[in-house]
Structure 1
Amino acid sequence: MTDRKHVDFSGIYCGIKPDTGRFRLAPTAVGWKSSEDKATIIPSDDLKKMSWIRAARGYQLRVTLKDGGVSKFDGFKSEDFEVLKDTAKLYYKIVVESKELSVKGWNWGKTDFQGSNLVFNVSNKTMFELPLAQAIGANKPGKNEVSINFVDPGQPAPEGVNPREIDELMDVIFYVPGTVPKETENNEDEDADEEEVNADMVFYETVKSKLEFSQMTTENIVQFQEVLCLTPRGRYNIDMYQDFLRLRGKTYDYKIQYSSIIKLFLLPKPDEVHVLFVIGLDPPLRQGQTKYPFLVFQFVREDEIDVELNLDEATMSERYDNKLLKHYEAPTYEVISTIFRSLAGRKVTVPGAYRSHHGAHALKCSMKANEGYLYPLEKCFLFIPKPPTFIPLNEIGVVTFSRVGTSAGASSRTFDMKFHMKSGNDIQFSSINREEYANLEDFMKQKKIKIKSENNEETIITYTDMDDVMEDDDDNYDSRKKRRTEVRMPDLDEEEESPDEDFAPDDSGSDVPEEYDSDVQGSSAGEGEEDE
């Protein structure tokens, strides 16, 4: 329907929204309104250009704004192009450009950054676009490679959409070879050959800057510099915002929603020097194909920090119920755990009443080839730092102790412990100091966990037991060697008493040639020479 004041089109989508609405062109603005009264209005003074492109849902009218932003409207029909073209020229003095997409199927081309969008062009035609405003992170998985992450597995689907009926883009990896000239302020030609950098690093930094620009709609509340992370290994800057946090490292950059944080632990390390802060995530953090459901940060207990939060009094009172302070000057681990507890809205779990033989909150052990600490907490066991293993007490069926009785040998200084979970999985810890058994057994009994001992069980040799085992093996070897020697000595004496009359090493007339003799020949040839 057309008249002198505006032009309307029905059944139009706005961006990636699932519902349709009515699209209108008016002399003062461009607008879209859904059946649920959700509206998008663009003033005519902000319009820069318009493009007509074939899209998945019919044809698309792409509106580019003067500030670099892009709005997309899908669902047009092919016959709507002439009406849009004439109306845009009449109302806004803008010529609607008709663009063709590349359908060659090539996977190599050139990239172009248009506002917050990354455009991939093949033969000067657009093949696809990536909205970096919806990306959650970027990293470098390998040499000359840059990965852009969009959706975490496990992220809830949009309202009213069955997650099994939708497909979502999760990752895109670009291979960027070669080098490019380095941009410098002074254009000097003296060091032109040396002023080159890897093209993948330039591309990676550009993507990161676009992510920061699109995600930083508000200023960060606080920032922590160079925080040591044990799992995954590295140092990260932690930027905390009202709804999410960002981990920025030299290789990886992540955006984590506070809604993904499900557990927080603050655990003192048995060395009495460090404190561990553990963050449980669902969905987990991903680095390539590796998933990290827990982040383990380490702090020095004596280190202190002096920070001021970028929040006003009204926000701290209304949104955070005065659980945050404007200024903090305290140990670093206390400040970070307090801020995480308020922003994520999760309780911070600390050690309970358990104490090891040495008075620590954890006991040292090994999980397969990894050494770490096992924390018996009030509602779970937690093994850190690698691999972080969470064992709820209510999911434990039976705990089996191995090599704890006298039959295991008095020389054994360690024992093993295996958790038989109700789900059918087994989790085993080894190389536990024998002195820890009494306190650990008391803890199990207090929590009413079933215990079973297997003294005659076939055990796994650990490094701490290798010395004892090697000593026993040496003793056994010496005794066996002695017995063998005593048995064979009489035979050797008998052989010496009966000399071999045929053996004559100094007899030059021996008719048996040696293998290394150069004059060795066959027996028939030797007999022939003697006859001659």
Structure 2
Amino acid sequence: MSTVTFENIFHGDSSEIGKLRFNAAGFGWKAYSSEENNPTTYSGHDVRHATWFRVARNFQLRLAMRQAEKPRITFDGFKREELDKVKRTLDEFFNIKLETRDTSLKGWNWGKAQVQGNDITFQVQGKTAFEIPLSTVANSNIAGKNEVALEFNPPPAPAQNAKDLSKRVPDELIEMRFYIPGKSMKSKGSDAGSDGEETDLDEDGNEITAADAFHNMIKDKADIGAVVGDSIVVFEDILVLTPRGRFSLEFYPDSLRLLGKSTDYRVPFTSIHRIFLLPKLDDLHIQLVLGLDPPIRQGATRYPFLVAQWPKDEEVDAELNLSDEEIAKYPDLQRKYEAPTFQVISRVLKSLTGKKVTPPGGFRNAQGLNGIKANVKAVQGELYFLEKGLIFIAKQPILIDFSKTESISFSRVGGGIASAKTFDMRVVSKTEVADHVFSAISKEEVTPISSFLQSKNVRLKNEMEEAVMDIDEPLSDDDEEMDSIASEDEEDQKKKSKDKSKPAKSAKKPVDDEDDDESEDEDFMGESSDGGSPSESDSDDEDSGMASDASDPYMEELRKKQAKRAKKNADSGDDAEKPKAKKAKKE
């Protein structure tokens, strides 16, 4: 037979269906929906091994190839009765024996995990339950004492405004965890005991757990952080604030690897979309902030920002592992660097990623620094005003773009207390539902912040000025008049209460100037001599502003003169009307 054709076959993970055709030279697959006559072809001499599997889409033909860039090819959709036909085709054309493997359908979640070739296989009672290609593993971490967490490469970003559900990216597995108890064992020599195994030890003589052994095997086999070839440059013992720890930064042509004591992170350069270089407010350290999309993950925690820190005066000597031709491909890249650490790392990142390094903006606080101290809820951090937005550096940084900001308002703590030393700044977003509130900002920063935001044409609302006007607004003429009337009413009430306590004979005296003065003198003398109640004497003392003593004649005479003078001043405004009142009484 010259050609053998199989219909309704899927190629790899594709959702398109097509036909698979074999001949003596090789084989090829073409989708039914393809209008062009360009099938995907392969040479039959490159096939090393063939396996028949039961999968979700009926049966699968898996072909192991000799090419390193394409180690495995799969075709799904075969029917059970086509097994013999596939065996004869492979044997006749390529002299390949088809191996049939049974799949475990028990559904058990315990078994044996091992690395076989380019796959991680999980077997239950000797049968394969599932397989994971090592090429899809993005990261491996020791999640617990006996737990290994595998993270897979994230799916590509979905098309914007994709209304057709068939064109959207489907849900994919992003993490899997293996619980591997016990110690790592290795075979003993011929002179060992009957058990034939012994505990594996590391270089320091410590026992290696089975989880650590599996984790190390994954890192060696999978494409985690490292690509084919050596690293360009390595920076040791770098303090990373988010995620917290000390890591070695290894730069590769297309990715950055953070190698820690128990965790590794691989950051492709394509996921780095923003780079910031910001001085800390202590004026001793420099922070490098990388904005990541998609973010790196550790368990259920996502880290959309990576924050590293160095002392400002720390220097490093670095030499890149690149030839002159390779260095010429990158702009502004040098072979040797001898400068502060933060400058060297930021320049290497800028050249390899092609991204701009954003410095702090032109904002200066009351002390002349680039940022201010602020809180987000109970988290303390540092807030920087950039040329096109804000960035809050804390355990989980926050980046706000001015173009997506509706308005920014200032408000005092506690409902507008004028004596408050701090204020809150609320950022209202155009796209997000929740607002960002930065609290505990020093009141002296109002003027610098207002001037900077106004220069960026940001809509600003200062609610503190309105609150201060409500509290500290000066009294108008009407208010002063009302206050004077109220004080006069209080004085009249006091006089009436004093008149009620006077003897009845004082009210029968003729009304003239001298009698009025004498009656007031008598009343004052009587009140001062009899002592009165402690409250009355205290109030008199406070009114006069002097400390009195009833037994002192000099003080008593002084009080009389002051009382007469006060009475004359009070009655001086009515002197013009007193004669008229006397004349009316005589008539």
For Structure 1 versus Structure 2, the TM-score category normalised by the shorter chain is 0.7 to 0.9
- What's the counterpart of residue 308 of structure 1? 319
Q: Secondary structure at the match of 2:91?
A: helix
Post-superposition shift, 1:369? Answer: 2.0
- The one-letter code matched in structure 1 to 2:364 is R
2:464 & 2:142 partners in 1: Cα distance?
48
1:445-467 residue CA offsets vs partner (Å, 9 max, x unmatched): 3234313233798xxxxxxxxxx
- What's the counterpart of residue 170 of structure 2? 166
Alignment of 1:213-362 (within 5 A): 216-318=227-329, 320=330, 322-362=331-371
2:212 & 2:410 partners in 1: Cα distance?
52
1:247 & 1:122 partners in 2: Cα distance?
35
2:99 & 2:28 partners in 1: Cα distance?
20
1:229-267 residue CA offsets vs partner (Å, 9 max, x unmatched): 101111223333333333332333233232222211011
Pick one of 75, 86, 89 that aligns with 2:88.
86
Name the CA shift for 1:184/1:350 in 2 (closer, same or farther; >3 Å): farther
Q: Is the contact between residue 151 and residue 171 of structure 1 (CA under 8 Å) also seen in structure 2?
A: no
- What's the counterpart of residue 420 of structure 1? 428
1:336 & 1:59 partners in 2: Cα distance?
51
Alignment of 1:131-146 (within 5 A): 131-146=133-148
Q: Is the contact between residue 146 and residue 200 of structure 1 (CA under 8 Å) also seen in structure 2?
A: yes
Pick one of 419, 425, 440 that aligns with 1:431.
440
Give yes or no for the alignment of 1:383 onto 2:380.
no
Q: Is the contact between residue 413 and residue 433 of structure 1 (CA under 8 Å) also seen in structure 2?
A: yes
- The one-letter code matched in structure 2 to 1:15 is G
- The one-letter code matched in structure 2 to 1:276 is Q
Q: Is the contact between residue 70 and residue 115 of structure 1 (CA under 8 Å) also seen in structure 2?
A: no
2:278 & 2:187 partners in 1: Cα distance?
47
- The one-letter code matched in structure 1 to 2:426 is K
1:18 & 1:165 partners in 2: Cα distance?
12
Name the CA shift for 1:403/1:55 in 2 (closer, same or farther; >3 Å): closer
In angstroms, what is the RMSD of aligned CA positions?
3.5
- The one-letter code matched in structure 2 to 1:414 is T
Give yes or no for the alignment of 1:41 onto 2:42.
yes
1:233 & 1:337 partners in 2: Cα distance?
20
Q: Is the contact between residue 225 and residue 257 of structure 2 (CA under 8 Å) also seen in structure 1?
A: no
Q: Which has the higher helix share?
A: 2
2:91 & 2:254 partners in 1: Cα distance?
42
Post-superposition shift, 1:20? Answer: 5.1
- What's the counterpart of residue 179 of structure 2? 175
- What's the counterpart of residue 63 of structure 1? 63
Post-superposition shift, 1:164? Answer: 4.2
Post-superposition shift, 1:9? Answer: 3.8
1:111 & 1:143 partners in 2: Cα distance?
17
1:20 & 1:109 partners in 2: Cα distance?
34
Name the CA shift for 1:51/1:371 in 2 (closer, same or farther; >3 Å): same
1:217 & 1:26 partners in 2: Cα distance?
35
Give yes or no for the alignment of 1:13 onto 2:7.
no
Q: Is the contact between residue 184 and residue 199 of structure 2 (CA under 8 Å) also seen in structure 1?
A: no
1:451 & 1:217 partners in 2: Cα distance?
56
1:419-446 residue CA offsets vs partner (Å, 9 max, x unmatched): 3334453322233233333322322332
Name the CA shift for 1:330/1:26 in 2 (closer, same or farther; >3 Å): farther
Post-superposition shift, 1:215? Answer: 5.9
Q: Is the contact between residue 47 and residue 64 of structure 1 (CA under 8 Å) also seen in structure 2?
A: yes
Post-superposition shift, 1:277? Answer: 0.6
1:185 & 1:223 partners in 2: Cα distance?
39
In terms of mean alpha carbon deviation, does 270-279 or 179-188 score higher?
A: 179-188
Alignment of 1:23-34 (within 5 A): 23-26=20-23
Give yes or no for the alignment of 1:207 onto 2:218.
yes
1:396-429 residue CA offsets vs partner (Å, 9 max, x unmatched): 41322315999432xx543333333344533222
Give yes or no for the alignment of 1:402 onto 2:412.
yes
1:113 & 1:166 partners in 2: Cα distance?
28
Name the CA shift for 1:403/1:125 in 2 (closer, same or farther; >3 Å): closer
2:166 & 2:252 partners in 1: Cα distance?
30
What are structure 2's unaligned runs of at least 5 residues? Answer: 202-206, 468-587
Name the CA shift for 1:109/1:405 in 2 (closer, same or farther; >3 Å): closer
Identity %: 38
1:105 & 1:406 partners in 2: Cα distance?
64
1:385 & 1:179 partners in 2: Cα distance?
39
Post-superposition shift, 1:382? Answer: 0.8
Q: Is the contact between residue 154 and residue 283 of structure 1 (CA under 8 Å) also seen in structure 2?
A: no
Name the CA shift for 1:54/1:296 in 2 (closer, same or farther; >3 Å): same
1:454 & 1:213 partners in 2: Cα distance?
53
Q: Is the contact between residue 410 and residue 423 of structure 2 (CA under 8 Å) also seen in structure 1?
A: no
- What's the counterpart of residue 152 of structure 2? 150
Post-superposition shift, 1:328? Answer: 2.6
Q: Is the contact between residue 182 and residue 197 of structure 1 (CA under 8 Å) also seen in structure 2?
A: no
Name the CA shift for 1:38/1:274 in 2 (closer, same or farther; >3 Å): farther
- The one-letter code matched in structure 1 to 2:282 is D
1:54-82 residue CA offsets vs partner (Å, 9 max, x unmatched): 22333211223568943322233333322
- The one-letter code matched in structure 2 to 1:41 is Y
In terms of mean alpha carbon deviation, does 250-259 or 61-70 score higher?
A: 61-70
In terms of mean alpha carbon deviation, does 34-43 or 326-335 score higher?
A: 34-43
Give yes or no for the alignment of 1:393 onto 2:393.
no
Q: Secondary structure at the match of 1:73?
A: strand
2:223 & 2:190 partners in 1: Cα distance?
27
Post-superposition shift, 1:41? Answer: 2.7
2:296 & 2:360 partners in 1: Cα distance?
25
In terms of mean alpha carbon deviation, does 161-170 or 113-122 score higher?
A: 161-170
- The one-letter code matched in structure 1 to 2:55 is A
Post-superposition shift, 1:376? Answer: 1.1
TM-score for both structures, normalised by structure 2: 0.68
Name the CA shift for 1:153/1:425 in 2 (closer, same or farther; >3 Å): farther
In terms of mean alpha carbon deviation, does 305-314 or 327-336 score higher?
A: 305-314
TM-score for both structures, normalised by structure 1: 0.74
- What's the counterpart of residue 107 of structure 1? 109
Q: Secondary structure at the match of 1:408?
A: coil
Post-superposition shift, 1:130? Answer: 0.8
What are structure 1's unaligned runs of at least 5 residues? Answer: 458-532
1:299 & 1:317 partners in 2: Cα distance?
29
1:187-216 residue CA offsets vs partner (Å, 9 max, x unmatched): 977x95685432111111112222237962
Post-superposition shift, 1:279? Answer: 0.7
- The one-letter code matched in structure 1 to 2:408 is V
Q: Secondary structure at the match of 1:425?
A: coil
Name the CA shift for 1:426/1:336 in 2 (closer, same or farther; >3 Å): same
In terms of mean alpha carbon deviation, does 235-244 or 295-304 score higher?
A: 235-244
2:270 & 2:395 partners in 1: Cα distance?
24
